[in-house]
Amino acid sequence: MSVVCVTGTSTDVGKTVATAALASLALASGKTVAVCKPAQTGVADGHPGDLHEIERLTGSCVDVLELARYPDPLAPDTAARRSGRPLLELAGVVRAIRDLDATHDLTLVEGAGGVLVRLGADGFTLADVAAALNAPTVIVVASGLGTLNHTALTASALRAAGVDCAGVIVGSWPDEPDLAERCNLDDLPDVAGIPVLGRIPAGSGALTQDEFHTGARTWLPDFEPRTHGPVHSGLCARTRKQLPPRPVRSTLSITKPVSSR
């Protein structure tokens, strides 16, 4: 059993597609996979969110769990208060992820926005979740100017929380990278102090399921989903195992009511 958290240097850097690619690699090595999204924001009830996108790209072999949903496109704690819906609690989130991990070889936890975005009650963040689970964390980053600083800050925040930084994934790599993007790719390991696990080509989220599974095996050559211990380099390239479909689940038992202000 293994939990890996996925965070980003900001919003819209490709966390969901990167999470799907990691899930695809685990499926390719014959592992059972779950993906948990503690807080989905900016999506109304009944509409497809990030987990739906992961299922579309990877197939029904992945078990997905969304713990809370808030319609406003805001940080989860703010969105919860505005909607009047319950705030997530750290202990409940950790418990739900552990329960999910108990029945899967690999459980991926996709955050919301950056690593210090407040997810719920008492201002807990994905860094707190990863620390409580002793889970290594992958950082999904942009390719252009500013990414060196953003990546270094994110890695520093994770280390300050006692979290192992498993590596960096460039979430959207252009067909024709400019000078800054090419230099950033070279500089990221030194600036952030962690390896670049790979680059996901821009537009990969629009691929068919078969195209996505084929591509994932080449995009992230330095990631191996292990069921025990930390993530390390080296890709296991076995045939993807077809597993029976598992339903999307949702629970509000890990939340507490919003206090009036």
Give the mean model confidence (pLDDT) for residues 123-141. Answer: 98
Average pLDDT, the chain: 88
Q: Where does the pLDDT of residue 259 fall: very low under 50, low under 70, confident under 90, or very high at 90 and above?
A: very low
Phi, psi values for residue 260, rounded to 5°: -75, 150
Q: Which residues pair with 66 in a beta bridge?
A: 37, 250
Q: Which of 173, 159, 155 is nearest to 18 (CA)?
A: 173
The verdict on domain 2-225 having CATH code 3.40.50.300 is yes
pLDDT over 70, % of the chain: 85
Domain positions in the chain: 2-225
Q: Which of 56, 61, 62, 73 is nearest to 204 (CA)?
A: 56
Out of 15, 37, 241, 256, the active site residue is 37
pLDDT one-digit tens code per residue, 62-92: 999 999 999 999 999 999 999 999 999 999 9
Higher-scoring residue by pLDDT: 49, 248 = 49
Residue 28 has pLDDT above 80, yes or no: yes
Q: Helix, strand, or coil here: 176?
A: coil
Q: What is the pLDDT of residue 225?
A: 59
Tokens standing for residue 36: 């948990």
Q: What is the pLDDT of residue 11?
A: 92
Residue 149 has pLDDT above 50, yes or no: yes
CB distance 80 to 40 below 8 Å:
no
pLDDT one-digit tens code per residue, 236-250: 322 223 323 333 343
Q: What is the pLDDT of residue 125?
A: 98
In the residue annotation, 37 being an active-site residue is answered as: yes
Rounded Cα gap, residues 220 and 19, in angstroms: 11
Q: What is the pLDDT of residue 221?
A: 83
Region of poorest pLDDT, from 67-71, 143-147, 228-232: 228-232
DSSP states of 60-97: TTEEEEEEEEESSSS-HHHHHHHHTPPEE-HHHHHHHH
CB distance 64 to 55 below 8 Å:
yes
Residue 235 has pLDDT above 60, yes or no: no
Higher-scoring residue by pLDDT: 44, 232 = 44
pLDDT one-digit tens code per residue, 153-211: 999 999 999 999 999 999 999 999 999 999 999 999 999 999 999 999 999 999 999 99
Q: What is the pLDDT of residue 222?
A: 72
